[in-house]
Structure 1
Amino acid sequence: MALDRRHLIAHGLTAAAALGLTRHAEAAPTAEATPPAGARSATSRPAGPMELALLANAPSTPTGLAISRTGRVFVMMPRFDATVPITVGEVAPDGTVRPYPSEAMNRPDPKSPQASLLHVPNGVIDRDDTLWLLDAGLPEGKGPPVPGGAKLVQVDLAENRIRRVVPLEAGVTPSSSLNDLRVDIREGRALAYVTDQGQGEEGAILAVDLDSGRVVRRLQGHASTKSQKNLVKFVEHRPVVLRLEGGPEKPVQGGANGIALSPDGRRLYYAPLIGRRLYAVDTASLLDPDATDAEVAAGVEDLGEKGMTGGLTTDSQDRVYLTLQEQNAVGRRHPDGRIEVIASDERLIWADTFWITPDRWLYVSAAQVNRRPEYNGGRDLQQPPYAILRVRIDADPAG
């Protein structure tokens, strides 16, 4: 079912006009250029501005984004600290963000960790138009996850009720910070993959068999899931470093962060938050009970430079989309390794999560994470409402 674009665009443009934001005409796609032999990057279309799809008046930083086939828009707001009022919301046509699936579910209760949402950085909608939420179990944004709090929550969108909770306790450590999720449900399999960016240098990937509930932690300590040393991310012309009020500046760390699946579900793409390289691993090896950690690690592919990114996604042509946070831009990596920049927009401040709709729009959230108080000496420089932008692409979603 095609997305009801009127639901998103009409109200987004009204709000944009009120704030003095200008809607830009969609850039007309051009034929893709053939790169010279040996070239590994190419820009084959103008990297023009994006369309403003919606302005979300979220009460906190909306890193996550998911859009149902009927056009319902959901944002996820991780609890960077205990003051965040809700961690999952549905965006109304006027930009209002309402607690989802209920206000009660959004009240963190460490004593009932399976019955409340503690810290949700991301969520996805599967082929059956069911919402899956990733809860990292961190009601204060840091410290050890609440026992039993790390979980996947399946939500029935038709009835707005919790259908199932899948514990992730077996895959987390005291320093875990689960970040992103992909769900692969098709005939013969029901699987999920989660990145753990950690609260220091170490990250990992969790693989989940949704039928049995088995959770396996893989690639901890591997270079591909670690926060890379001596790197600084620049957003809006400033280095992103921890600037706590009254304290010294500290480098930002973040291991495995963005994640994406190939169209056939056989390959997992991922990258650290602080890192410039893209990696891939065979998904079958992650849940293979006979595969050792060393064997899984031996199968990791380094796919090369891709810039500083947050979220990733793929389309039906197995092209990986890149949130180029330092350039306020969207990149696209082809299977042969070529990278092109397909859109750039000054409103795309800390590009975070992608979503591709059946009518071939690529949406991305502008989360403004770099404007948060912890990066600005205690000053909150975020400016709600938060933009959700989009650009036309020439392919279907991967799944």
Structure 2
Amino acid sequence: MTAAACEVVVRARAELGEGPTWDPAAGVLLWVDILASRVHSYDPASGRRTVRTTGQHVGAAKPRTGGGLVLNLRDGVALVGPGPEGAFRWLHRDPVPGRRGNDAAVAPDGSLWAGTMRYDEARGGGTLTRLTGDGTAEPVLTDVTVSNGTGWSPDGRRMYYVDTPTRRIDVLDVVLDGGRQVVNRRPLAQVEEGAGFPDGLTVDADGCVWVALWDGGAVRRYTPDGALDRVVALPVPRPTACAFGGAGLTDLYVTTARTGLGAPPPVAGSLLVVPDAGSGLPQPAFAG
């Protein structure tokens, strides 16, 4: 595939667009602009868009089983109720000076795996934490730098994870104790020098891993054994994350960023889509 296969569905000027997530209950694509503290939604059937301001930098927004959203914010993880005036409350408040929430993902058991990073991207300053609906927080990974893409294989036995500066997509084995633990972290694939840095990811119905390449201008698809088998070229240098959406989960949505680009392309910061790119997996809502 080439850039010609890609379409702009929401022309925006997001500083740091991130975290596309398909909400099947609402039939919308959720995504965030981290540095603008905004959560966006886009309905591909009607073209309707909404924007919610969070008041803090927001790394991710995911749907909840009871309606509303769970947010990975600068100072911790919070819940908001359904509707534009939904009530806000902290689920797990953990402010650390110089640190913010980044990418997050919902595991097959409905728990939220929320990543953090330091604003200065200091080595070892980030974490990955598992949170349940009652606010219980368990550290999963510490001593990471930029906690980014996280996803699970179709059978739930593997977890994929990106700490961006390592240039790796890692794979871990899920301990079958309800999925609370992961072990045996090892590289699945290494992104070569000059091809960009791995950022957000998603896993498709074939068990393949799609990853956006920051400063690489592309999304790549890796097979479960780590082989590169597809590259989607994009008209922007800084794609940040990808997710399947639409009624049939066949369209690949890609968020993009303008931050740090002296003369960004006109569509940088927009929400892109590659129609009929593959077959996605239904994503669980946060059980809280």
Q: Secondary structure at the match of 2:166?
A: coil
Distance in 1, Cα, partners of 2:51 & 2:114:
24
The yes-or-no answer on 1:181 pairing with 2:104 is yes
Query: Which residue in 1 is equivalent to 2:236?
Result: 348
8 Å CA contact retained: 1:153, 1:166: yes
Residue number among 44, 60, 72 corresponding to 1:135 in the alignment: 72
Task: State the 1:95 CA deviation.
Answer: 8.0
8 Å CA contact retained: 2:214, 2:238: yes
Query: Which residue in 2 is equivalent to 1:167?
Result: 91
Q: Within 5 A, what are the aligned runs for 1:317-356?
A: 317-345=206-234, 347-356=235-244
Q: Secondary structure at the match of 1:220?
A: strand
Distance in 2, Cα, partners of 1:71 & 1:163:
22
Query: Which residue in 1 is equivalent to 2:286?
Result: none
Query: Which residue in 2 is equivalent to 1:304?
Result: 189
Distance in 1, Cα, partners of 2:66 & 2:233:
30
Larger radius of gyration: 1
The yes-or-no answer on 1:281 pairing with 2:203 is no
Q: What amino acid sits opposite 1:396 in the alignment? A: G
Query: Which residue in 2 is equivalent to 1:64?
Result: 19
Query: Which residue in 2 is equivalent to 1:257?
Result: 148
Distance in 1, Cα, partners of 2:178 & 2:38:
30
Task: State the 1:96 CA deviation.
Answer: 8.7
**Normalization by structure 2: what TM-score?**
0.77
If each structure's strand is expressed as a fraction of its own residues, which one has the higher value? 2
- Where structure 1 has 5 or more consecutive residues not aligned to the other structure, the ranges are 1-45, 101-105, 109-117, 138-148, 227-254
Task: State the 1:271 CA deviation.
Answer: 1.1
State how many pairs are aligned. Answer: 271
Q: What amino acid sits opposite 1:300 in the alignment? A: R
- Where structure 2 has 5 or more consecutive residues not aligned to the other structure, the ranges are 284-288
RMSD: 3.4
Task: State the 1:60 CA deviation.
Answer: 4.3
Deviations 1:10-40 (A, max 9, x none): xxxxxxxxxxxxxxxxxxxxxxxxxxxxxxx
Task: State the 1:353 CA deviation.
Answer: 2.0
Residue number among 47, 51, 57 corresponding to 1:99 in the alignment: 51
Task: State the 1:355 CA deviation.
Answer: 1.8
Task: State the 1:218 CA deviation.
Answer: 2.8
Residue number among 64, 77, 87 corresponding to 2:33 in the alignment: 77
Query: Which residue in 1 is equivalent to 2:138?
Result: 216
Distance in 1, Cα, partners of 2:179 & 2:254:
33
If each structure's helix is expressed as a fraction of its own residues, which one has the higher value? 1
CA pair 338-394 structure 1, distance change in 2 beyond 3 A:
same
CA pair 369-133 structure 1, distance change in 2 beyond 3 A:
farther
Task: State the 1:59 CA deviation.
Answer: 6.1
Deviations 1:228-272 (A, max 9, x none): xxxxxxxxxxxxxxxxxxxxxxxxxxx222222222334321112
Task: State the 1:313 CA deviation.
Answer: 0.7
Identity %: 18
Distance in 2, Cα, partners of 1:362 & 1:280:
22
Distance in 2, Cα, partners of 1:394 & 1:99:
28
Higher relative contact order (CA 8 A, sep 6+): 2
CA pair 166-92 structure 1, distance change in 2 beyond 3 A:
same
**Normalization by structure 1: what TM-score?**
0.58
